[in-house]
Amino acid sequence: MAALQSIRSKGALLVGALGLALFAFIAEEFFRSLETTSNMDRNIVGEVYGEKLNIQDFQQMVDEQSEVAKMQMRMQGQDGTLNDQQTEQIREQVWQQFVQKSMIEHECDKLGLFVTDGEVQEALRQGDAQSLQMMTMFFRNQQTGRFDLQSLQDFMKNYNKTLAQAQQAQNADAVEQIQMVKKLWDYTEKQLRDELLSNKFSMLFAMGFVSNPIAAKENFDERNIQKNVEIAALPYSAIDDKGIQVSDDDLKKAYDEFKDNFYSPVETRDIKLIDVNVVASASDRAELTKKVQGFQQQLQNGGDVANIVRSSNSAAQYSNLALSKQAFQSMPDVVAALDSMAVGSVKPTYYNAQDNTINTIKLIGKEEAPDSILYRQIASTKADPAERKAQADSILKALNAGASFAELAKKYGQPSDSVWISSNQYESFGMQEESTSYLSQLYKIGAHSAQVISNDQGAAVVQVLDRKKMVTKYNVAIVKCPLNFSKKTYEDELSRFNRFLAQNKDVASIEKNAAKSGYMITDLPGYSPLQNVIASRIGGSGAKDCARWIFDEAKAGEVSKLYECGRNGDHLIVACVTATNDKGYLPWDNKQVKDFLTQVVKQQKKAEKAMAMAKNVKTVSDMQKLKGNVIATLTNQTMAGYPTVNGVNVPEPKLAGAIAKTAVNKFSGLVQGAGAVYVFKVTAQSKTTDKFNAQAEMAQIAQMNGQRAYQATFNYLLLHNSNMKDRRYEF
């Protein structure tokens, strides 16, 4: 009872304590949820129309497209390795695809547009979708040349079986190719749906425009009525800037006219960048040249080619296989040397500026071989190498005795289908010895012949049914060593740049003294994450750190630290932020805007002055009397092409329109163009031999107007309605 009484006496205090405890619990959960949300937001690469793209999904899409790019490279005879610049291009492409897809899906959702499974199947049957073109290399209808759906369906139906057979035969190349085609199709299937939805959206614009016979005739005449013209011009550049005064009121008036040019959907920065590209010194070049000359001597002395190329750290690994010129297309210097070299000769050490390498080449062999082979095979199923070879010999003996290939294949549980293999499917550098041995033997088998091909990995009876397109192939050892800077060269450049920055710590002094010290300043006004210039052109983790500083930390007037960056660790950069700009319209007095408007106003005032100077001009000869004039003759000028007069060098749509309206032997009067004041006389007129087709012209006009409307609408929505956020620079 006493305890109960004590609790009652302190009721208010207990209620308050419980309340505080409850509040603390709720607050803890609230802040935990905030932390979770914050962590999720930190993983967001970008956002368009509320559609967020996290780093995991973004990287997955980059990986997918990278794999597709590697496959395409391997099919073209390259080694299938992407450099950092190519990877950065793929990242940019993935972002652009995300932006476009998000915008189109947002608009299509409002319109009730979507792609059905039936539409996908119809597109596959038609086979002419853009996204299917890559798959046409594997699934082609021989009659139409288009994508063949039945071939794809057969491949997918037998995929697991075909893959298992290739694995059982221990044919690594076939396994890789089968898996590659499957990956390509998985990627293509997603791309096809996106393409069909995009086509539906753009079709709305095409269907929204019509034309008429009168407009069709005008459109035809614009292209087909040609005129010869004698012309004289007074260029605005001939008028001295000293007599042109530009006031703030002039700039504000021009700003209202051009305001839409200064809109940005994201925050921007005005920056000045010093980018030092560290390159090899003369001593670095001399040292590498001496090293490659040593490998040249080893090749001349008949040393082990594979070991020599491997020890040289050559950018082109050695494959002991004769390859077609197509395999060397990424190395034009090698291609240029092949036909001039005798078998067994070694090209003296040389420098190649195209890829900045020191090189030497040995031509080991040269032969005529088919570019494509149609073959089929039966692999031995025995585990023991000796038994494997004996079984393969037995199969070959039976085949030569007249046994059916199909029946023999069936007996050993293998398909009897034949396949074409062409040079571009396998040719690469650094192939494994087993693969080069197999291919070398395969390409030596004559048409309608069979033989056993065996190595440590397996044995198979291979029958060649056909050989096509004999080409010259080359067995080449290439020592291609990149000319890189040494550690000393890099440290010397770094020390010199640090000394300059120690003596010039603010934007003004850096601008004043950079050129004197041999540094060039690059102006990047209105720099935004959408441009991604520093990360894409320079690359490396340091470039990303610099971008993060620019957008997340820097204030106007600040100078960054020195960043060591570059995809090959070969750049030193410093950024100066001169202004920070919020998203939306830049103000008229922003330096970038003001510089643009000043040029516009000057040009307008020069045009007014030129018109005043030419007010009494009545003939082409009169214009030729004015100081600074230029004369020209235009031939076969049409309304469809904007003329450019030498000495003015500005495309002139107004001049094209004036010429179209002026009759032969008539004087034009003054024409105020974009770059000059013009007068002219039409001296002749003719027509092309093209025939007028009203329906075709009307369709062309409607399509052209639809495309323009689509692009204009897309750009407007993206800039003003998408609420775009781009944080790629953080990752």
419 and 333 in a common domain: yes
CA–CA separation, 730 vs 387, rounded Å?
60
Domain assignment of residue 122, yes or no: no
322 and 470 in a common domain: yes
pLDDT above 90 (res 501): yes
Helix, strand or coil for residue 525? Answer: strand
pLDDT above 60 (res 20): no
H helix or E strand, kind and range, residue 268 = strand 268-277
What is the per-residue pLDDT for 1? 40
Report the mean per-residue pLDDT for the chain: 85
Q: At 390, is the pLDDT very low, low, confident or very high (cuts 50, 70, 90)?
A: confident
Domain assignment of residue 694, yes or no: no
The CA distances from residue 527 to 133, 233, 270, 551, 567, in Å, are 37, 38, 6, 10, 21
Whether 209 contacts 698, CB under 8 Å:
no
Whether 232 contacts 668, CB under 8 Å:
no
Alpha-carbon torsion angle 284, 286, 289, 295, nearest 10: -90
% pLDDT > 70, the chain: 94
* Burial degree of 285 (CB within 10 A; 0-12, 13-18, 19+): middle
Give the single-character DSSP code of 384. Answer: S
**What is the per-residue pLDDT across 652-691, written as a single tens digit (0 to 9) for each?**
999 999 999 999 999 999 999 999 999 999 999 999 888 9
Domain assignment of residue 658, yes or no: yes
**Which two three-digit tokens encode residue 12?**
């208010």
CA–CA separation, 79 vs 14, rounded Å?
75
CA–CA separation, 497 vs 311, rounded Å?
35
- CATH of residue 492: 3.10.50
Amino acid, res. 33 = S
The better pLDDT of the pair 42, 645 is held by 645
* Residue-range definition of the domain harbouring residue 339: 283-482
596 and 498 in a common domain: no
CA–CA separation, 197 vs 679, rounded Å?
50
Which has the closest alpha carbon to 438: 517, 351, 321, 524? 321
Domain assignment of residue 332, yes or no: yes
Domain assignment of residue 93, yes or no: no
10 Å Cβ neighbour count for 537?
Answer: 15
Rounded (5°) CA angle 149-371-403: 75
Contacts of 476 (CB under 8 A, 6+ apart): 323, 328, 334, 338, 361, 362, 363, 364
Rounded (5°) CA angle 544-274-495: 95
H helix or E strand, kind and range, residue 565 = strand 563-565
Q: At 75, is the pLDDT very low, low, confident or very high (cuts 50, 70, 90)?
A: low
What is the per-residue pLDDT for 161? 87
Identify the residue whose tokens are 């850096």. Answer: 510
Which has the closest alpha carbon to 376: 426, 423, 416? 416
471 and 554 in a common domain: no
576 and 601 in a common domain: no
- CATH of residue 341: 3.10.50.40
The last residue of one of the domains, among 582, 607, 630, is: 582
476 and 359 in a common domain: yes
Q: At 317, is the pLDDT very low, low, confident or very high (cuts 50, 70, 90)?
A: confident
Domain assignment of residue 571, yes or no: yes
CA–CA separation, 351 vs 285, rounded Å?
9
471 and 350 in a common domain: yes
pLDDT above 60 (res 60): yes
CA–CA separation, 727 vs 731, rounded Å?
8
10 Å Cβ neighbour count for 37?
Answer: 10
457 and 404 in a common domain: yes
CA–CA separation, 716 vs 725, rounded Å?
16
Quick one: average pLDDT of 139-144?
Answer: 79
**Which two three-digit tokens encode residue 322?**
């004769």
The last residue of one of the domains, among 442, 467, 482, is: 482
pLDDT above 60 (res 580): yes
Q: Which of 24-28, 276-280, 390-394, 583-587 has the lowest mean pLDDT?
A: 24-28
Alpha-carbon torsion angle 507, 510, 515, 519, nearest 10: -100
pTM assigned to the model: 0.66
Domain assignment of residue 570, yes or no: yes
pLDDT above 60 (res 36): no
Identify the residue whose tokens are 């004590």. Answer: 6
**What is the per-residue pLDDT across 206-252, written as a single tens digit (0 to 9) for each?**
777 778 888 888 888 888 899 999 999 999 999 988 889 999 999 99
Quick one: average pLDDT of 701-709?
Answer: 84
pLDDT above 90 (res 702): no
pLDDT above 50 (res 283): yes
**What is the per-residue pLDDT across 324-368, written as a single tens digit (0 to 9) for each?**
888 888 899 999 998 889 999 999 999 999 999 999 999 998 988
229 and 247 in a common domain: yes
pLDDT above 60 (res 2): no
410 and 302 in a common domain: yes
Whether 444 contacts 342, CB under 8 Å:
no
**Which two three-digit tokens encode residue 669?**
């009067």
CA–CA separation, 239 vs 237, rounded Å?
5
The better pLDDT of the pair 194, 409 is held by 194
Contacts of 711 (CB under 8 A, 6+ apart): none
Whether 341 contacts 347, CB under 8 Å:
yes
Q: What Rg do the C-alpha atoms of the chain give, in angstroms?
A: 35
Contacts of 165 (CB under 8 A, 6+ apart): 414, 415
Q: Which of 27-36, 157-166, 306-315, 663-672 has the lowest mean pLDDT?
A: 27-36
How many domains does one find in the chain? 4
Quick one: average pLDDT of 449-456?
Answer: 78
Domain assignment of residue 490, yes or no: yes
434 and 362 in a common domain: yes
The last residue of one of the domains, among 582, 603, 627, is: 582
Whether 240 contacts 539, CB under 8 Å:
no
Helix (H) and strand (E) counts for the chain?
25, 19
Helix, strand or coil for residue 683? Answer: strand
User: How many Å separate Cα 40 from the centre of its chain?
Assistant: 30
Q: At 706, is the pLDDT very low, low, confident or very high (cuts 50, 70, 90)?
A: confident
What is the per-residue pLDDT for 423? 77
Quick one: average pLDDT of 376-390?
Answer: 80
523 and 459 in a common domain: no
